[in-house]
Amino acid sequence: MCADQLLIIDDDLELCELVKEYLGSQAFSVETVHEGSTGVERALSGAHQLIVLDVMLPRMDGFEVLRRIRERSMTPVLMLTARGEDIDRIVGLELGADDYLPKPFNPRELAARIRAIIRRASGRELDTRGRDRMVVGDVELDLAARQVRCRGRLVQLTGAEFDLLETLLRSAGAVVDRRKLFRTVLDRDPIPLDRSIDMHVSHLRKKLGHLHGGNERIKAVRGVGYIYTCTPDDRAATDP
């Protein structure tokens, strides 16, 4: 089996070497780039399964790099942020990052996050209900191809957004608690003030729009989680 190809965009040369050595020992193939414009060029080459992107880059910061990547590619991106800088995490997620990891970090945690994101994006996790298609109202998921259509229109989603939508649709009409969403979608427990799931929900709302009649598609249930709203007929479409 070929090693997963990773691209690390970070201007900390020592950190890059340490991370490259560790991830190499974990059967990843790692390319490192140390400034933004070259990072964008390499990220758009299509040669990598995942990009690890630092926010604090010289000349072109990580947010601008991510914005340019997302204009042309949905390759998964894990952002590296300064510990305690909540605004960096929020902005990164808003721009389409799949997840974030605060610096300094444990290399084992980095490897675990990378594996979880690649696993989601590649669709290696089998559908335990044995189906390759889900339809709820005007939304159709092709689970094998990991594609989404809303009202017949193809919608581009990140890996995290796809898994979030699938999780909500499987429980359409019922509340899914935040902890389950974190574990299912991001393969981890939430940390205090972690808004990752909230930002991914926000993206889904924007990309899918409202239901017919103007009703909100995904509703927040304060202190609990989220619910994908649907009619009884819509819910029946998800049953085997």
DSSP string, the chain: -PPEEEEEE-S-HHHHHHHHHHHHHTTEEEEEE-SHHHHHHHHTTT--SEEEEES--SSS-HHHHHHHHHHH----EEEEEETT-HHHHHHHHHTT-SEEEEES--HHHHHHHHHHHHHHHHT-S--TT--SEEEETTEEEETTTTEEEETTEEE---HHHHHHHHHHHHTTTSEEEHHHHIIIIISS---TT--HHHHHHHHHHHHH-PPTTS--SEEEETTTEEEE---HHHHHTT--
pLDDT value for 192: 80
CATH fold label, 4-122 = Rossmann fold (3.40.50)
In sequence order, the β-bridge partners of residue 7 are 31, 51
CA distances from 122 to 83, 117, 163, 182 (A): 29, 9, 11, 19
CATH says 133-236 is which class? mainly alpha
pLDDT value for 88: 85
pLDDT value for 30: 97
Sorted by sequence, the CB contacts under 8 Å of residue 68 that are 6+ apart come out as 40
pLDDT value for 119: 83
User: What residue spans define the domains of the chain?
Assistant: 4-122, 133-236
* pLDDT string in tens for the chain (240-residue length): 467 999 999 999 999 999 999 999 999 999 999 999 999 999 999 999 999 999 999 899 999 999 999 999 989 999 998 866 778 888 888 899 999 999 999 999 999 999 989 887 776 444 444 468 899 989 999 988 889 999 999 999 988 999 999 999 999 999 999 999 999 999 888 888 888 999 999 999 999 998 877 789 999 999 899 999 975 556 544 444
